[in-house]
Amino acid sequence: MAPFRRDMFWRHAGGLSLGLFFMTALATGAAQAQSAPGTDGFASAAPVGALEAPSLTPPPAPGLNFYGTPGLIDMPSAEMLPDGHFATTFSWFGGQSRYNLTFQALPWLSASFRYNGIRNLNLFGFSTYYDRGFDVRFRLLRERRYLPELTMGLQDFAGTGVYAAEYLVATKRIETPPLRFGGAAGRVPGQLKITAGLGWGRLGSHGAIGKIGGNRPSFVGGSTGGQLSYDQWFRGDFAPFAGVEWQANERWSFKAEYSSDAYRTETRASNVFERKSQVNLGLEYQRSPTTRIGAYYLYGSEFGVTAQFQLKPRHPMVPTQVPAPAPIVPRSQWATEAAHWSQDWAQSQNKRVEVRDLVAEDLKSHGLVLEAIDLKGTEAEVRFRNPRYRSYAIAVGRVARTMARALPPSVETFRIIPVRSGMGLSATVVRRSDLEDLEFAPEAVDGLAAVTAVTAAGPLPETAIFSGELYPAFSHSISPYADPAYFDPSRPFRMDLGVDLSASYAPAPGWRISGAIRQRVWGNVQDGRASNSVLPHVRTDQSFYAQHGTTLESLYVDRSWQPRHNFYARLRAGLFEAMYGGISGEVLWKPVASPLALGLETNYVIQRDYDQRFSFRDYKTFTGHASAYLELGKNYQAQVDVGRYLAGDYGATFSLFREFENGFKVGGFFTRTNVSAADFGEGSFDKGFYFRIPLGWLIGKESRNAYGLTIRPIQRDGGQRVGGVGGLYGDVRDAHRSSLTAQRARAWE
Amino acid sequence: MIAPRIRRALRNSLGAVAAVFALAACTGGQQEAGLELEILKTVRDQVKLRLKDKPERPPVTRALLDSLDDTYIEVRVEDSDLLAYLRPLLVKQDSTPGTLTLWVTEDSVTLALREGVLTATRGLRNDMLSASTLVTETGGRMGPRGQGARRYEIAALDNRSEVFTLACTVSDLGPETIEIVELTYQTRHLQEHCESESGLVVNDYWVDSRSGHLWQSRQWAGPTIGYMRIRQLTL
């Protein structure tokens, strides 16, 4: 083979066999490598002894019980999940199925939601009785050398109370030698967990040893529910329960317990199963760090199973992978003559347009879009859109690299401004020579953060030139959709599937005309039950809206702008969502470094006709809220909205969220308005919880998409808000100082 | 010969499936692709990747390497058994001692080596964002020397980083003769032993007895990537 020049090799190697060989050099995931020739030269590498290299693997999580909380089989234990864990479990025995969601909100506090079905209960007018409930658990004492962990739990504390119970439980863990069997390497020691507790309510129904405060008010099936049943808590009979779990190794766990639940309703009032014993036995297998399955023999007569899935929001399913950026080549290596450093170029419009196009082109390679650029002799400002990266820190870092690569050497100060809907969100100011010097510094991350400032974006300079490709812009998409509906007593889960055709047109910065047509292909939401609400049916006519297969989902004109420093505003007119159209305005005050934001949203809306075309029903209303948003630290956010709701009711919504830096979000909310519990109907007041799982967290690829879901135990008409409007806070916060600082490690990626 | 035929058939049917997707789901303009679209695209890419023919590699011989004009290192990631050949992309000196060379694979994974000591990776999962080294001089014997702290900063978890600071000591394990694709080198085997509460890292370096050039090393690149074996194939 003839020798060839270096640059030719890389340009033309694709066609050569040797080149092909080197061109197919691999990175992770691309393909399987063949065995490397002659790697035995490394054999003299010292064997790593018992100590292992530092690890990112989270600590092992305790197994969950039939109620989805840490525990034995049907009984709880005092253990807590690792902070932030999000667990879903399914359990089944004797015709009773429970779907549980548990979130470890704080190291010492967890909350659970449960949906359960009891087959053949034949009570309260249902053959299969479906119910929903919430649990909350508090750790009172941490485990010490000789002291056990102590936890207090309130089970099904606010629903109709079919599973209502309270308990105090203690668990002590004792290390056992590592055992190698059943697919476990036996490197990790085992644990013997001994649990004992006292239960009230359902957990005090067998073998009671005492009584507090007279008889416990009894469970009323089919009542409205929703109110805190504090008059029952820790009242009436109490009974002991106990058990042991032997987590033999990282795979297998054996469980045995003595239950204090007599299953009175299921076995005496009805005939769901036959209870012969209070002793339950079980075996669990940890299939993967996420998945655990278990098989059990319960109450001397029934087999049971569980499937447990534990998601760790801080630990993505697949760690993110982004292509390596080109390095920053210091100007000292390529701008070697004095003439290279001249600022004359900045005077020439042609030259500036040329630089703009160069920057726009390079940004595209990072998946970013140039909005506008302002060029001066020693300073440059780039405004860009970020359709790819969940973290604005990496987007800002990539823009800085592009600027260091594409701008003339005389430019020393970079101002980098993410833009959304034409609004500049923040300005990161960084010096080019710092980028050149710090890229491979031992403490590159903190070093750069120390010399970078994040400030308000400020207005667009008059000398800025817009991208030549953006306005006017038309875009469209055809995409499948899934629209679920929950908790109808006759069918707990319904779904519509179909295709969305959406299009938008942006005539100028900040302006957008957007619309979506929806075609249902399959679905059964239309068979849902009719509303019995005594309030205006502002949300409960879902099944009427689902009667129509082809609908106009939305069509509106939208204008976003920054009226003044630290203020963001949006006006929208048209059809916002399936049920409402009208006119909406929102103003948000959010300084770039402030943990507090204030907002005001007002809407005049008209209810749309069931066919969801251009006609309206006879219901019009003013609705609007004043909102306060507060970052509490440690990823917690609180929000309070006070105002008038769709049914004309006045009140306030309280929300508490935990949003991890990767966008994984879990939280809950409740709304109290001047509608009485009786008028509201089942549930007494509006409440629910929310979670959002970012796509990037699941697939390990950069993406701004996420799967979000709000679940209400019951959908009623009180405390409801119009959809498809608002949202300025969420749009803005991501790119502000707290996020950029917390995620600063990504700036160098 | 059956396997390739099946693969071809699969690939063709995949094309049909892709066409159906393309009809049922598509996007145009500057609008961000929706969640459902992106999921479809990811699934499609994964299936394509699985069905792709793996490239056959000719054996690496010294004759083949001699015909190359360029400098190459070979890097093998132990845990994932991945292998890549890298060429230098940038050589630079900054305010930290030691010359830094940035090496790149064809598919844009980069490794930054300071006098042969790994200080950064990019384009992998849970990259090493930066690492301090025990390199004390520029242009002398390559590799680390003495003792001191090494600070590894690893991209990890939820858009943040984890820092592991380890106390390290470099010891000389004596002379060793190593072979790299038919060429033997007289080297000294240096071992960097790093320890802290978070764990133990042992890095090995084989440095030419006379020139001080680092021919071969085995270095830790973080909890997810694990250890890498690096050999200099051509100078």
Listing DSSP states for A222-267 in one string gives: TS---S--TTTTT-EEEEEEEEEEEE-SSSEEEEEEE-----HIII
* pLDDT per position as a tens digit, A167-218: 999 999 999 888 888 887 777 788 999 999 999 989 999 999 988 887 776 6
Pair (B67, B172) in one structural domain: yes
Check CB contact under 8 Å for A3 and B191: no
- State pLDDT tens for residues A622-645: 999 999 999 998 899 999 999 999
The number of C-alpha atoms within 13 Å of B199 and in the hemisphere containing its C-beta is: 17
B56 inside domain: no
Residues of chain A in contact with residue B60, where contact means CB-CB under 8 angstroms, are 37
Q: What is the pLDDT of residues A266-283, one digit of tens each?
A: 888 788 889 999 999 999
Question: What tens digit of pLDDT does each residue of A689-715 get?
Answer: 998 999 999 888 898 889 888 988 888
Per CB-CB distance under 8 Å, the chain B contacts of A10 are 87
CATH number at residue B70: 2.40.360.10
Does residue B34 sit in the same domain as residue B69?
no
Q: Does A43 touch chain B (CB under 8 A)?
A: no
Token reading at A51? 């100590």
**8 A C-beta contact, residue A79 and residue A62:** yes
**B6 sits in which H/E element:** helix B2-24
Residue A27 banded pLDDT, cuts 50, 70, 90: very low
Same domain, yes or no: B185 and B72: yes
Look at residue B10 and tell me if it is in a domain. Answer: yes
B29, B71: one domain: no
Instruction: Report the residue from B37, B107, B180 with minimal CB separation from A477.
Output: B37
Calpha distance A207→B192 (Å, rounded)? 63
State how many domains chain B has.
2
Best interface-test mutation with B: which of A384, A394, A478, A703 has the largest number of B CBs within 10 A? Answer: A478
What are the residue boundaries of the structural domains of chain A, listed by start? 86-311, 340-470, 473-506+510-738
How far apart are alpha carbons B70 and A239 in whole angstroms?
Answer: 79
Evaluate if residue A39 carries a pLDDT over 80: no
**Which of A22, A470, A746 lies at the smallest CB-CB distance from B106?**
A22
Kindly state whether residue B57 falls inside one of the protein's structural domains.
no
For A474, the closest chain B residue by CA position comes to B29
A155 touches chain B (CB under 8 A): no
What is the span of the domain harbouring residue B221? 62-234
Q: Does the pLDDT at position B28 exceed 80?
A: no
Residue B133 covered by a domain:
yes
- Same domain? For B41 and B132 the reply is no
> Are B34 and B118 in a shared domain?
no
Chain A positions in Cβ-Cβ contact with residue B162 (cut-off 8 Å): 56
Among the partner residues A37, A391, A499, nearest to B60 by beta-carbon distance? A37
Residues of A in contact with B36 (CB under 8 A): 479-482
How far is A183 from chain B, CA to nearest CA, in Å?
19
Record: fold of A86-311: Porin (2.40.160)
ipTM > 0.85? yes
DSSP secondary structure code for residue A612 in this structure: -
Q: How far is A165 from chain B (nearest CA, A)?
A: 36
* Pairs across A and B, CB distance < 8 A: 301
pLDDT of residue B121: 96
Q: Say which range, A14-23, A52-61, B99-108, B188-197, has the weakest mean pLDDT.
A: A14-23
Instruction: Tell whether B99 and B190 lie within a shared domain.
Output: yes
B42 shares its domain with B80: no
Q: Which amino acid is at A90?
A: F
pLDDT digits (tens, 9 = 90+) for B89-114: 999 998 899 999 999 998 889 999 99
For residues B77 and B35, membership in a common domain is answered with: no
Residues of chain B contacting A477 with CB distance shorter than 8 Å: 25-28, 31, 33-34, 37
Which residues does A504 contact at the CB level (< 8 Å), separation at least 6? A474, A475, A476, A512, A513, A514, A515, B29, B31
How far apart, in whole angstroms, are the C-alpha atoms of residue A530 and residue A610?
14
Give the relative orientation of helices A349-365 and A392-406 as an angle to the nearest 10 degrees: 140
B18 and B102 fall within a common domain:
no
Is residue B179 located within the same domain as residue B145? yes
Subunit contact A478:B27, Cβ cutoff 8 A: yes
| Rg of chain A on CA atoms, in Å | 30
Fold (topology level) of A340-470:
GMP Synthetase; Chain A, domain 3 (3.30.300)
Q: Do B199 and A51 touch (CB under 8 A)?
A: yes
User: For A305, phi and psi rounded to 5 degrees?
Assistant: -140, 155
| CA dist., res. B122 & res. A308, Å (int) | 35
